[in-house]
Structures are given as structure tokens and as C-alpha cells.
């Protein structure tokens, strides 16, 4: 196939999303390498991200570009058959999130440098969507998310709380400070354990480096914020069995997770390779199926649009502070991280990704749960 015809195919596809090659609108693409066209048709979304990292194309507003691509369903029309087949083989034959692989994501993503996250996140180091109702700044929006979460959990002084996937301790510290509860947090990141130990001072907080499957203790409340995306469909049921085992009979569990509109067993190949290996965004069906017969669903809250705004705020901080952290990272890393944050913002804007807070109680519980917004 001639190079010109390959270029025309890509141009025609992009027209469906109102994207023009070498156009002058923020979402238009400027191509620097003519090999871009054949690379995209060969390897789909993986090639789109990799070719940006390699400097083969530019775009002033990647978030707007990805929003348009998703709304036009181009992400389904241009896919790498090779990558899809290999992903399906892996997910069917292997448990990519098995216990022996549990700490891989910590090493690959969360341990790449606390300086990066300090310069990108809010002052409390929340690495999950903020809640922007009636607030204007990232710090305030993350405080609002933590307050909302604590109120949904109906925390009160003296309770024992488990935080599965505690990150840098944002929830644990907030809950211990504001509600005087005792918190046990677990993470698979050594860097997170190190930093939380410096931050929580004399609060009643214990942070452990461990996998959720090794938990075997009792708690009044359990929360998991932005961790379930690493569990994998083969382990969803096991996750809820652990929660059920560790939750007291009158307890409450809150799950804060990114969600997908359809059930999947594989993730985007570029995200899987460069950002979150072995991750999987769960669907509503996968969550309810995994929890059925173990816990009662009390409340389901969607605020996916807030993640778009959160990601744009993270990118603004990352870009603003890049010169501060640049000595520790490469220019290619900058392009990779920029593409990650802005493409994810576009995905939430197109409502391809959702953001849910789901509240559960034990089957035998007699708690009358009032929703909180």
C-alpha cells in the first residue's frame, strides 16, 4: 500500500472526529514524522501514545483530541490485532494480578519518585479524583472528597478503620485527625510507606507493606480508594471475600473506583505498558457480581466529570513544576506523563471512564443507610 493512501486513510478516519492533520485548532494534530500514519494503522492506541512520546506528532490540547477520538469511536476502529490477541491469551491463561505479581505495580508506578507526586498532587497527596462541588481549588476539592468519604462511612471516635490501598496516607491522616479514629493502611509501594511514616506524626495510624489477600483482622469500617482498578477480574470475588471477612457485622465498606461502561478483561495497551501494568477498569456488572451474596449495596454515586477536572489540575501542577523535578526524569518521561494525564482527562470527558463511590454493608446488618452528597 502506498504511503499516500495510508495517510489518506488516517486523515479520513480523523475527519470523523473533526480532527485535521496540521490544522490550527487546539485539538488538531501536527505530524513531524510521515511514518506516523502507517504506525497508527499497525498498532492503534499503543502507537498513538508511543509515537507522541517519540516526538512524531504534536497537539496543543491532547485532552480535547482524545475526547473527540473516543466520542467518534475511533479507538475501536483503529486497534492492534496483535496486541488484542496477546492480551486475551494472557488474561485467559494467567492471573495477571496474582499474589506473586502484587508488588509489580508499586515498583513500576508508585515508587518512581515521591518528588514527582509531591509536585503534582494536592497538599494531602491524594492520588484519586477530587470532589469539586462548591469548591474552586484542588486542595479544597480533595478535602471535600475526604470529608464526603468519611461522612458516607459514618465515622465516629474510637472506630477501627482499614484503608486498602492507602497511598500516601491522605484518607488515613484526615480520618484520624478529624474523626479521631484508628486507621490501618496497606499499600504495595515502599515509597508510600516511607513518606506516610514521616507525615502522620503521633496519630493513631499504622501503615503496612502488604497485599490485601493477606488481611485477616476485624474492622468497624473499610475503605478502598483508587485501588480496585489493580485487582483484576479474576480476583474481584476474592477481594470482596476479604472485605467481608474483615468487616464487623455492623460495619460499612466504601469502594471508590474508576468504572467502565462495559465489562472488559483487558486494558488499553499503552496504559498497560507504560503507566499501570496489569490494571483493569471494572464495570458495574463485574462489581455487583463479585459482591453478590457477600455484601449489601447501600449507595452508588457517580461523579466522573470531577476526575476530568482533577486530571487537568494535576497536569497544570506537573507542567508548572517540571523544571523542579526535571533532573530526575527524562524529556521522554515528560511527554509520556503529559500524554497519560491529558488522555485520561479526555477519556473521562467523553464519559468512556466513570468514577464511582459505592457503599456496602454486611448482609445481616440492620443499618439504615442514608445517602450523603
Could you tell me if residue 275 is inside a domain?
Answer: yes
* Residues 193 and 341 grouped into a single domain: yes
* Residues 52 and 117 grouped into a single domain: no
pLDDT for residue 100 = 45
* Residues 223 and 293 grouped into a single domain: yes
* Residues 17 and 165 grouped into a single domain: no
Residue finishing a domain among 45, 79, 113: 79
Could you tell me if residue 94 is inside a domain?
Answer: no
* Residues 264 and 352 grouped into a single domain: yes
* Residues 74 and 129 grouped into a single domain: no
* Residues 173 and 27 grouped into a single domain: no
pLDDT digits (tens, 9 = 90+) for 302-317: 999 999 999 999 999 9
Q: pTM above 0.85?
A: yes
Could you tell me if residue 249 is inside a domain?
Answer: yes
Find the catalytic residue in 150, 166, 246, 344: 344
Binning pLDDT at 50, 70 and 90, where does residue 103 land? low
Could you tell me if residue 352 is inside a domain?
Answer: yes
Cα separations in angstroms, 17 against 12, 44, 194, 216, 278: 9, 16, 45, 50, 30
Could you tell me if residue 90 is inside a domain?
Answer: no
Could you tell me if residue 88 is inside a domain?
Answer: no
* Residues 124 and 42 grouped into a single domain: no
CB contact at 8 A, 172 and 196: yes
Domain count, the chain: 2
Q: What secondary structure does DSSP assign to 302-362, as a single string?
A: E-THHHHHHHHHHHHHHHHTHHHHGGGS-HHHHHHHHHHHHHHHHHHHTTSEEEEEEEEEE
Binning pLDDT at 50, 70 and 90, where does residue 3 land? very low
List CB contacts of 212: < 8 A, sequence separation 6 or more: 164, 165, 186, 227, 231, 239, 242
Could you tell me if residue 86 is inside a domain?
Answer: no
Residue finishing a domain among 79, 112, 141: 79
Could you tell me if residue 367 is inside a domain?
Answer: no
User: The CATH number of the domain where 145 resides is what?
Assistant: 3.40.50.150
* Residues 133 and 22 grouped into a single domain: no
pLDDT digits (tens, 9 = 90+) for 165-210: 999 999 999 999 999 999 999 999 888 888 887 777 779 999 999 9
* Residues 172 and 27 grouped into a single domain: no
* Residues 139 and 36 grouped into a single domain: no
| % of the chain residues with pLDDT over 90 | 78
pLDDT for residue 89 = 41
Burial class (CB within 10 angstroms; exposed 0-12, middle 13-18, buried 19+) of 134? exposed
Strand arrangement, sheet containing 160-164: 205-209, 182-187, 160-164, 219-225, 247-260, 353-362, 295-302
Cα separations in angstroms, 67 against 13, 23, 132, 280, 359: 15, 17, 21, 20, 30
Q: Say if residue 101's pLDDT is above 60.
A: no
Q: How many residues does the chain have?
A: 373
What domain range is 15 assigned to? 3-79
Q: Is 166 a catalytic residue?
A: no
* Residues 7 and 124 grouped into a single domain: no
Residue finishing a domain among 15, 46, 79: 79
Amino acid at each position: 500500500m502506498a504511503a499516500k493512501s495510508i495517510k489518506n486513510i488516517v486523515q479520513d478516519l480523523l475527519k470523523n472526529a473533526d480532527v485535521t492533520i496540521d490544522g490550527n485548532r487546539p485539538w488538531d494534530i501536527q505530524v513531524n514524522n510521515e511514518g506516523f500514519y502507517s504506525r497508527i494503522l499497525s498498532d492503534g492506541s499503543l502507537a498513538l501514545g508511543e509515537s507522541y512520546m517519540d516526538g512524531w506528532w504534536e497537539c496543543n490540547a491532547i485532552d480535547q483530541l482524545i475526547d473527540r477520538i473516543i466520542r467518534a469511536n475511533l479507538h475501536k476502529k483503529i486497534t492492534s490485532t496483535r496486541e488484542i490477541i496477546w492480551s486475551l491469551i494472557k488474561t485467559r491463561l494467567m492471573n495477571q494480578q496474582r499474589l506473586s505479581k502484587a508488588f509489580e505495580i508499586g515498583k513500576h508506578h508508585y515508587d518512581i519518585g515521591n518528588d514527582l507526586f509531591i509536585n503534582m498532587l494536592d497538599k494531602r497527596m491524594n492520588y484519586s479524583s477530587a470532589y469539586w462541588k462548591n469548591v474552586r481549588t484542588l486542595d479544597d476539592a480533595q478535602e471535600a472528597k475526604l470529608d464526603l468519604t468519611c461522612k458516607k462511612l459514618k465515622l465516629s471516635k474510637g472506630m477501627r478503620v482499614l484503608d486498602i490501598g492507602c497511598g500516601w496516607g491522605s484518607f488515613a491522616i484526615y480520618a484520624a485527625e478529624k474523626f479521631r479514629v484508628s486507621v490501618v493502611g496497606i499499600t504495595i509501594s515502599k515509597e508510600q510507606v516511607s513518606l506516610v511514616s514521616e507525615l502522620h506524626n503521633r496519630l493513631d495510624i499504622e501503615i503496612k507493606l502488604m497485599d490485601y489477600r493477606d488481611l485477616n483482622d476485624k474492622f468497624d469500617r473499610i475503605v478502598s480508594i483508587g485501588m480496585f482498578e489493580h485487582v483484576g477480574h479474576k480476583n474481584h470475588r476474592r477481594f470482596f471475600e476479604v472485605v467481608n471477612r474483615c468487616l464487623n457485622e455492623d460495619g460499612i465498606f466504601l469502594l471508590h473506583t474508576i468504572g467502565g461502561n462495559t465489562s472488559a478483561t483487558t486494558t488499553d495497551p499503552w496504559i498497560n505498558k507504560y503507566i499501570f501494568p496489569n490494571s483493569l477498569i471494572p464495570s458495574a456488572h463485574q462489581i455487583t457480581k463479585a459482591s453478590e451474596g457477600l455484601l449489601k449495596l447501600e449507595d452508588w454515586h457517580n461523579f466522573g466529570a470531577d476526575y476530568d477536572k482533577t486530571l487537568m489540575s494535576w497536569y497544570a501542577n506537573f507542567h508548572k513544576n517540571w523544571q523542579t523535578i526535571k533532573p530526575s526524569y527524562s524529556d521522554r518521561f515528560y511527554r509520556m506523563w503529559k500524554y497519560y494525564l491529558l488522555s485520561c482527562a479526555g477519556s473521562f470527558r467523553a464519559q468512556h471512564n466513570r468514577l464511582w463511590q459505592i457503599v456496602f454493608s454486611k448482609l445481616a446488618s440492620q443499618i439504615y443507610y442514608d445517602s450523603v452528597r
